[in-house]
C-alpha cells in the first residue's frame, strides 16, 4: 500500500528568528519513499540539515520577519501490516544490555523515574517480565488517562499526567516510558505520522502522533499506550529520550503558529 503524508505550518515571526525543525521522515524509512519529502518554505529561504545525536534528520533555518509557510508532501510505500506483536520477547538484565540502550533507562525532561519508581514496582513488580510487563504498563496507562486535545500542555510531565489522569498521545507515551524505565526496561519516545487506516469512523483530527519503543528480546519493539492495539501505517519521523528531543520546531525567539495541518491518507491506487 501507499500512504500520502505531509504537513503545512504557518508561522508569524516579529523579527528574524533561528529555528530547528524535526520534520523529515526517519532514515529507516527512506527506501520506502516514492519521492523525497523535501521541506518547502514560502517565501523561499536557505535550509541547512544535520543529524542529531539520535540519528534524526533535522533542519535549520532563519525565519524572516513576517509570515513563513513550511510544508512537505510525499508518498510512502508501506507493507500494510499492523505493528508486530512478539509476546515471547524476554527482558534483559541491566548488566547485559547494549551500551547504546542505557541512556533510555535514565530519567529525562518529561519522564521522572525518581518520582515514579516506587509506584512502578508496586504496580508491575509481579507482572510477567518482558513483553507481558510492557503490555501491562500500556494497559494501565491506557485505562488511567482520559484522552482529549483540550488537555494538551507542552510542559506536562509523566508525573503530572499520572496525577491528573488526562492528556494527549505524548502524555500516554511519556508515562509508559517512565514506568518502563523504572522497571529497568529501556524505552524511547517516537514521533511520526499515524493515520486512521484500518480504524472504523468517526476519525479525529489529524496530527503528528507520539508512541514509544521498548528494548526487549534483543531489539526495539513498538508500543502505543494511547491506542493500545496494533495499528497500520506508522511512518516514523524521529526518536529520542522524550518529546523534548524530537520537537517538530524549536524556535529561538517569539512567534505565533497560525496554521497547523497534517495529513496521512491511504492511496487506493498506487502512484509512481
* Domains of the chain from N-terminus onward: 2-78+248-266 (2.60.40.2250), 94-245 (3.10.620.30)
> What letters, b where the CB count within 10 A reaches 16 and e where it falls short, cover 49-81?
eeeeebebbbbebebeeeebebbbebbbebeee
How far lies 199's CA from each of 167, 232, 240, in Å? 21, 9, 27
**pTM for this entry:** 0.95
80 torsion bin: left (phi>0), alpha (psi -120 to 50), beta (else): left
pLDDT, tens digit, for every residue of 159-201?
999 999 999 999 999 999 999 999 999 999 999 999 998 888 7
Q: What mean pLDDT comes out for the span 220-249? A: 97
Which cell numbers in the block locate residue 166?
Answer: 488526562
pLDDT, tens digit, for every residue of 89-131?
999 999 999 999 999 999 999 999 999 999 999 999 999 999 9
Residue 74's pLDDT is: 97
Amino acid at each position: 500500500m501507499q500512504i500520502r503524508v505531509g504537513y503545512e505550518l504557518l508561522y508569524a515571526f516579529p523579527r528574524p528568528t533561528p529555528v530547528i525543525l524535526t520534520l523529515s521522515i526517519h532514515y529507516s524509512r527512506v527506501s520506502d519513499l516514492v519521492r523525497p519529502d523535501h521541506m518547502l518554505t514560502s517565501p523561499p529561504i536557505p535550509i541547512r540539515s544535520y543529524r542529531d545525536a539520535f540519528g534524526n534528520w533535522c533542519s535549520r533555518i532563519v525565519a524572516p520577519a513576517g509570515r513563513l509557510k513550511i510544508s512537505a508532501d510525499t508518498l510512502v510505500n508501506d507493507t500494510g501490516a499492523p505493528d508486530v506483536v512478539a509476546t515471547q520477547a524476554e527482558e534483559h538484565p541491566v548488566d547485559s544490555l547494549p551500551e547504546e540502550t542505557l541512556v533510555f533507562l535514565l530519567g529525562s525532561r518529561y519522564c521522572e523515574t525518581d518520582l515514579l519508581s516506587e509506584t512502578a514496582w508496586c504496580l508491575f513488580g509481579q507482572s510477567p517480565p518482558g513483553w507481558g510487563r510492557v503490555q501491562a504498563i500500556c494497559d494501565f496507562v491506557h485505562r488511567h488517562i482520559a484522552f482529549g486535545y483540550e488537555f494538551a500542555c507542552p510542559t506536562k510531565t509523566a508525573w503530572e499526567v499520572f496525577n491528573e489522569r488526562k492528556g494527549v498521545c505524548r502524555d500516554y507515551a511519556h508515562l509508559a516510558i517512565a514506568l518502563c524505565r523504572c522497571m529497568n526496561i529501556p524505552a524511547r519516545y517516537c514521533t511520526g505520522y499515524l493515520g486512521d487506516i484500518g480504524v472504523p469512523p468517526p476519525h479525529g483530527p489529524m496530527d503528528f502522533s507520539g508512541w514509544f519503543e521498548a528494548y526487549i528480546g534483543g531489539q526495539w519493539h513498538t508500543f502505543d499506550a494511547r491506542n493500545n492495539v496494533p495499528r497500520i501505517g506508522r511512518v516514523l519521523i524521529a526518536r529520542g529520550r522524550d518529546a523534548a528531543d524530537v520537537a517538530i520546531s524549536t524556535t529561538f525567539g517569539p512567534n505565533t503558529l497560525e496554521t497547523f495541518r497534517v495529513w496521512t491518507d491511504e492511496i487506493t491506487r498506487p502512484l509512481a
